[in-house]
Structure 1
Amino acid sequence: MSHIEIKQLKYRYPMSEQLALDGVSMTVQRGEFLGVIGQNRAGKSTFCQALTGLVPHFYKGAYGGSVMIDGTDVGKAGIDETIRKVGIVFQNPFTQVTGAKLTVYEEIAFGLEQLGVPRQQMMERIDQVLHLLDIEECKDRSPFDLSGGQMQRMAIASVIAMRPQVIVLDEPTSQLDPQGSEEVFRAIHSLSQEGMTVILAEHKMEKLAEYADRIALFHQGKLIDVDTPSRLFSRDDLAQYDIQPPVYTRVCRELGLKVPGANTYPVTLEEAQRSYEAYQQPNRQGTAEGQQIPESLKITIKPIEHHGQKRSQSNEGDQHD
């Protein structure tokens, strides 16, 4: 039985004539890491909010279809019931700081206090998430003295500490540097391996390609496709949805290098290296049909390095995204 089952989900914000979600149907398995991509206003954030009950209980508007999580109809259940199963981390960490606690440690403890978690168990959970997200040195500082990246990791820690069955993250690495982003992705991936279902909306395609089990592509409120990173990023029509596949995929497509034994292009550094090594073998498996790479071609594939801020596309967006 699927952990999450979504049937014909439709939603329109108040005072809007356009559907933010239009007939979305899919299932998600327990412990699956599902990435969510799409241009601004594609429906990603609204989809995340629908999984937590914020749509329709908080934002109101016109709602149809159903979202079932472990047998609970999120659209009909109370928020108090839903929050015990689903946690959410927003793009802006400031929106999740209570302002009622003096230290990071106390801020993370706040949600556990509301759930009535015993003190000893609470302390163990807090210590675990502080270590997991590498913010142990910040535990005695004020939340408002943290950098944007540190505050985002505190917000994630606050949700993870409550041990929800499902964690929904709406661009949680938007204010993190590359190292911080990698730490968060690794932490989230480890949670999915331990059985927590992860739904992550992101613009960082290379990271999603590396860590996600499947990726859902949204466009103008519609679900276009749900597939593995390899198959989804090998689609020929991504440009019409304003989606750029990972850099490794783009390079290998230009070179005609496909994954050996598959009709897909590499999406990670490791896959690109294996495909190039296969090309160098006498049988040259892995090149696209009808294409040949010059014998003199010599390339070196290295991990990409991010510098500065993300493109403006990644920093824009609002509740209608």
Structure 2
Amino acid sequence: MSFIQLRNVSYKYPIGKGDVLKDVNVEIEKGGFYALIGANGSGKTTFCNVLRGFVPHFYKGDLRGEVLIDGKDIREWDMGELAQKIGFVFQNPFTQISGVKETVFDEIAFGLENLGVEVDVIIQKVEDVIDILGIGYLRDKNPQELSGGQKQRVALASIIVMEPEILVIDEPTSQLDPRGTEDIFKIIELMKLKGKTIILAEHKIELIAEKAEMILVFKDGEVVMQGTTKEILTDKRVQEYGAALPQYALLGLEMEKRNWDVDRIPLTEQEAISTVKGLLAAKGGQVCHS
């Protein structure tokens, strides 16, 4: 059985006029890296809220169908237990900082304190996470005085220190510059290597193409496409659903349109270079049919 299963899931917010998720059927395997793509308002954030248990425990509303986390329906989970099972990172790091701690070290420790973990264990876990994420330079700073990128790193650290099996991350780089974005993706990739199950909503499609293993495409509350990153991000239908394709995939599709002998649609810069070199070698510098 899959680690996470959604069967015929539909959801309507309490004051909503219609369903914001519509008959969603998804299976997520343990340890996988799944990316959610689609236009704004397509249902990605609501999907994340369902996985985290905010729906129906916090937002209420009308949830239909089955949402199974490790075989147990989301409605049967205690929110405290679910918080240890699933870590949720919000789009806006400013809302995730507690506001009650004066140092980054204490902020990262806050969740463990709430669980009643012994002090010496908390100290060791926080030290380990600070070291793993390379944020020792932030250790004694006030969380409220950090930049957006620094706050997002601290927000991730405060979740990772809880050692959840599943990380649900909702557009963590939307307010970050390229350097900050790269740092966040490095942290996410590190968590993947540690065997965490990653569900990431994100618009930066070039990085999704490089890092994710599976893609779910959302449109108007429905999952309209799902499959491997290679299958989905080389399919021009993705654009018809309001999502983006990587620039290198667009290049490959254009080459196909021009009847070039493309053996595969590239996703990354390296794949694109390899594809073009292969075409040039095969045709002696002429890549088009006569």
Q: TM-score, normalised by structure 1?
A: 0.84
Once the two structures are superposed, residues 154-200 of structure 1 have per-residue CA deviations (whole angstroms, 9 ceiling, x without a partner) of 10110011000101000011122212211211221221222110000
How do residues 1-321 of structure 1 correspond to structure 2 at under 5 angstroms?
1-256=1-256, 260=263, 262=264, 265-282=265-282, 292-293=287-288
| 2:56 aligned counterpart, secondary structure | helix
Amino acid at match of 2:210: E
Q: Percent identity?
A: 40
- How many equivalent residue pairs? 286
- 1:244 Cα deviation from its structure 2 partner: 1.9
| 2:218 aligned counterpart, secondary structure | strand
Larger helix fraction of residues: 2
| 2:154 aligned counterpart, secondary structure | helix
- 1:115 Cα deviation from its structure 2 partner: 2.1
Once the two structures are superposed, residues 90-135 of structure 1 have per-residue CA deviations (whole angstroms, 9 ceiling, x without a partner) of 0011111111111111000000112233333322322232233332
Amino acid at match of 2:288: I
| 2:126 aligned counterpart, secondary structure | helix
Moved more, 26-35 or 246-255: 246-255
Cα distance in 1 for residues equivalent to 2:289 and 2:115? 63
For structure 2, list consecutive stretches of 5 or more residues without a partner in the other structure. Answer: none
| 1:282 aligned counterpart, secondary structure | helix
Amino acid at match of 1:189: E
Cα distance in 1 for residues equivalent to 2:132 and 2:262? 34
| 1:75 aligned counterpart, secondary structure | helix
The answer to whether the 8 Å contact 1:192/1:198 transfers is yes
- 1:258 Cα deviation from its structure 2 partner: 7.5
For structure 1, list consecutive stretches of 5 or more residues without a partner in the other structure. Answer: 296-321
Cα distance in 1 for residues equivalent to 2:261 and 2:182? 26
Cα distance in 1 for residues equivalent to 2:162 and 2:193? 17
Q: TM-score, normalised by structure 2?
A: 0.93
